Structure 1
Amino acid sequence: MPRRKRNTSGAAETRNWLELPTDVTASILSRLGAIHILNSAQKVCSQWRNICKDPSMWRSIDMRNLGDLQDDIVHGKMCFHAVDRSCGHLLDINIQYFGTDELLLYIAERSGHLKRLRLFSCYGISEDALCEVALKFPFLEELEIFICDISKETMETIGRSCPLLKSLKYNLEYIKSFHYVCDDDALAIAQSMPELHHLELLGNALTNVGLQAILDGCRHLEYLDLRQCFNVRLEDLEKRCVEHIKTLRHPYDSTHDSELSVDHDAGSSHEYYYPYGGISDDDDLFANGYDDNLEISGGSDSSDYIYDSSGISGSDYDE
């Protein structure tokens, strides 16, 4: 509801929000997120539609859902269109649950200056695609891969292809077994990501061998998260960690302030992580409906990337 103020005669006066400066309106709308902008905000009036089509509104794209498979295709189409809206100015993108190789390659072809990439439970993205797009992200500074297991070779390719990488969050879905031991991830990180300042490895199977390699290879490390890394025996290396790392999270520290919370089951060899802090069930993301025939526009090479058989276009949003 518009705010009301009193004029000198005492009568209520309605404030016209359309009189706000354009930059102020853009700042407000940008806080809604990509889904709300495409579904609702840009449909309010022509002024808001023009603001929502400005590439500066799409430098950061946050595409979250709660894992509803029925919404995966819809969210994917929306993300294609949001990337087109950025006109090559995209710097930060968050994809949750619905990512595919086609979408990731589309982003890479149109966002050569990307600085932050977050992939949460994107099982539709292959390691081959990750390696291919890493070569197209030379300016990437932050990478977050949640509950998507990747190989040592892929980790090394990412590190060598993204020399500016300063933050890596590689957190797994579950601890395969308390008896499972593997230092591949740690060795790959140590060998290929020397500029890291921030490293999270929740649920990793590394041992002290891997931790030693990270301490030797990542000399600029300031934050290290080893929660749920139960193969690490910090009593042997804690002194060195404390001397060189400002913030150290221990294997048995609580995960309650993490984006992944842990369901402990003493009778099982697996411990599963569950995301929290996502979009509320009360959020009506599709209050005004969404055209399931959405297609991507915005480039002669758009046909190279087909998300589904219906085609992809953004004409529904460009009227």
Structure 2
Amino acid sequence: MNLLREILMSLLRKILKQNFKRVVSNFTSKQIANNRLRLKASIDVVRHLALQAIAFRGRDESFTSTNWGNFLRTLDLVVGYNNNIVEIMTKAPKNATYTSPQIQKEILHVISTKVKKAIREEIGDTNFCILVDETRDESMKEQMAVVLRYVDIDGFVRERFYGIVHVVGTTAVTLKKEIYYLFSNYCLDIQNIRGQGYDGASNMRGEWNGLQALILNDCPYAYYIHCFAHRLQLALVGASKAVVPFNRFFTKLILVINNIRASCKRIEQLEIARASNIAYLIDIEELETGKGLN
């Protein structure tokens, strides 16, 4: 209910910015209830799609389109099970349907803010570590992912994804500025940082001008650790290249995978051969069967 109220107030402030009091005073209790119901339906769909990491928008969301995209289609499916809600949705004013792309972004922004506030409350005033990496997305924009690692009040180590920040560049100064700005919005004290985890790129681990060095100058206890997963990857790649049989094996494996993936017929033949092999292993009791996760 608090989330619904916060989103509703955020939207109303934008829609009715100048005449808020005058317009709201003319609303009947039925109109208010209908608006809340329409907004709640949109919130539920947004939460579902966000949780399942499903794209919201469709290529063509016009009235004549056969596929409006996941958000509009899911909303249509959800409200279609109740005739009363269908009537409320179809009779909604054009400026109060709560289905536009801008409204979807507003709802996502409010949900994201509440999640970050919950993480901030869980951290409290204790120490924490930061894990940062940057990459390019499908729209060719540089994005920086920030993860916080800390110990909660029950003594359990938690790793929480804190957000993705668009950065104009990958220089250490730019990344530091965006990290500090993100933390300042939620009153996270830089002096509480006790660890930094990045990859081995020069802009991240540089001893003098890297991100870890810039943060270490402000917080002398924020020690840098090269990401263990990245170090393991580099070690495995280096080891496989040094051992000739391994190097040949992976080289041939890449050729086999590329050869099979290039043909639908070869993929189907591989699946048939795998199914036959599994049936054979079951028949000779080399493979156990049963019910469960697998």
TM-score w.r.t. length of structure 2 = 0.29
Pair member with larger Rg: 2
Greater fraction helix: 2
TM-score w.r.t. length of structure 1 = 0.27
